[in-house]
Amino acid sequence: MAIKDLANGRGTASDAGGGGGGGGDVKAHFVFIPMMFQGHLIPAVDTALLLATHGALASIVVTPSNTGRVRPAVDFARKSGLPVRLVELPLELAAEGLPHGADDVDRVPPDLWANYFRALARLRAPLERHLRAHAPYPTCVVADFCHPWARELAASLRVPRLCFFSMCAFCLLCQHNVERFDAYGGVAGDDELVVVPGLERKVEVSRAQAPGFFRGMPEFEKFADEVEQVLAEADGIVTNSFLEMEPEYVAGYAEARRMKVWTVGPVSLFHQRATTLASRGNTAAIDADECLRWLDGKEPSSVVYVSFGSIAHAEEKQVVELGLGLEASGHPFIWVVKNADQHGEDVAEFLRELEARVAGRGLLIRGWAPQVLILSHAAVGGFVTHSGWNSTVEAVTAGLPVVTWPHFADQFLNAKFAVEVLGVGVDVGVMEPVMYRLDQKEIVVGREVVEKAVRSIMDGGDEGEERRRRARALAAKARAAVEEGGSSHGNLLDLVKNFEFKVGAGCDAIA
């Protein structure tokens, strides 16, 4: 199997600031194994780069079709002198019955997801060989929770293993509690709401909204058990959140899991310093300068940004309802229309006509948007989001109120967190999940609901002002968390210290 150590084109570990087997001028060596979905990959890369700013070598494992998605940020970091390596490992697609190109998660057919996860597990042996062959020896593996095979890797290397999540501790604790206290036991149906046990606050959720990681799909039942077991045995958790936003849930989750939780977010703030705001994930479908020029022409806090992340995409009739709702709201908007090319001619024509009607007021981005660049512009005043965690924490970082429109996975719990706990959101009222490319529900949210929700975060009267005030206060806390003396800054330093090179370091390296 061909493996490329991409960042080390000229050779040795010291090219990446690595030094010899003892670590040279780097203090630790973290091996990041992200899941290749962009909502997992982007924050894992940001976290790796943040650790590198504190003197640790970060090796980031990618599969070939994802290299281009992380390359700009990594190249920028390397040019700034940060010790970062990109390790590209091809997936053995044919061996798991996957078609050519299925290395790109966007191109994995839904019925072959289990095969995709098996193909990922095959990375273990070649990755181990690579790590043994390239000094310095790792001091810690940081693997996405979707990679249970990382347990064997870390055990064989005799190094500690941390589980990486881009989720809030609130979501992790709710999910853990409904499972460990069997809250769904005896419910009449998947849509029945239960109170999440073990929290001071009353939070209600249904099995349909929060089934648990990989639960509810018969072909993944065994895998789900393995994911839980491997998580329970981790040496700690690293997550894209920050302590001041949710201290009781961070403490609660650490206690429930009996392990340390390092909150290191908001990790997107790495890019405030690195001016790579516009190059996270896919190549943007709009030029960053064009986007900024458009925003520069708008009043402060007047524009609503609408995006549903990297996976969810709307059915045709839903696209039309959403577009009409945005038009009726009267507010300037940027709308990221994913998979626009997959819709029929009717929708394409609807979008063209809408664009003409709202010319100057509405900007449609067909494809990938430079999201954090947009969110951090002063003209943006609100975010209609699918409540993916990264989008939620990016909204918090920008001090923006949100309309929450969850689709699946952790999004329902994130939406509850934004609306009920943080008090910065208005929910559109979706109760059931729409699974990616599996369900074909046409209209989930009507145009009037969209219009009303947008108006309430953008105009909103006293309540709206209060939401905006809370959002801004949170943004100030987010920034303080990553600055020197802040909790996330401290946790990054603590990670480097805990996993630094030690003579004879092994699995007992955690202080």
With binding defined as CB under 6 A, does residue 488 bind ligand UDP?
Answer: no
**Paired tokens of 375:** 């969110």
User: By three-state DSSP, how is residue 500 classified?
Assistant: strand
**What's the closest the beta carbon of residue 227 comes to ligand UDP, in angstroms?**
17
Cα–Cα distances in angstroms (integers) from residue 345 to residues 187, 286, 446, in the given order: 44, 22, 21
Interface segment toward ligand UDP; rule CB under 6 A; list 59-67, 302-310, 457-465, 501-509: 302-310
- Of 402, 396, 436, 399, nearest to 419 (Cα)? 402
With binding defined as CB under 6 A, does residue 394 bind ligand UDP?
Answer: yes
Alpha-carbon torsion, ordered 162, 165, 171, 175, to 10 deg: -60
> In DSSP terms, which residues pair with 140 in a beta bridge?
30
With binding defined as CB under 6 A, does residue 310 bind ligand UDP?
Answer: yes
Catalytic residue among 5, 46, 103, 144: 144
CB 177: neighbour CB atoms within 10 A?
Answer: 18
**What's the closest the beta carbon of residue 358 comes to ligand UDP, in angstroms?**
20
Say if residue 505 is exposed, middle or buried (CB neighbours under 10 Å; 0-12, 13-18, 19+).
middle
List the interface residues with ligand UDP, window 335-374 (CB under 6 A): 336, 368-369, 371-372
Whether 104 is catalytic is no
Q: Which is nearer to ligand UDP, 130 or 313 (CB)?
A: 313
Among 236, 309, 381, 486, binds ligand UDP (CB under 6 A): 309
With binding defined as CB under 6 A, does residue 307 bind ligand UDP?
Answer: yes
The owner of tokens 């709206």 is: 464
The gap from C-alpha 503 to its chain's centroid, in whole angstroms, comes to: 35
Catalytic residue among 5, 29, 40, 343: 40
Say if residue 461 is exposed, middle or buried (CB neighbours under 10 Å; 0-12, 13-18, 19+).
exposed
How far is the C-alpha of 363 from the C-alpha of 374, rounded, in Å? 12
- Contact track, ligand UDP, 274-293, x by CB under 6 A: ------xx------------
Whether 40 is catalytic is yes
**What's the closest the beta carbon of residue 355 comes to ligand UDP, in angstroms?**
18
Interface segment toward ligand UDP; rule CB under 6 A; list 147-155, 304-312, 455-463, 486-494: 304-312
**What's the closest the beta carbon of residue 373 comes to ligand UDP, in angstroms?**
8
**What's the closest the beta carbon of residue 340 comes to ligand UDP, in angstroms?**
12
CB 451: neighbour CB atoms within 10 A?
Answer: 18
The residues annotated as belonging to the active site are 40, 144
> Which residues of the shown chain bind ligand UDP in the complex (CB under 6 A)?
37-39, 42, 280-281, 307, 309-311, 336, 368-369, 371-372, 388-391, 394
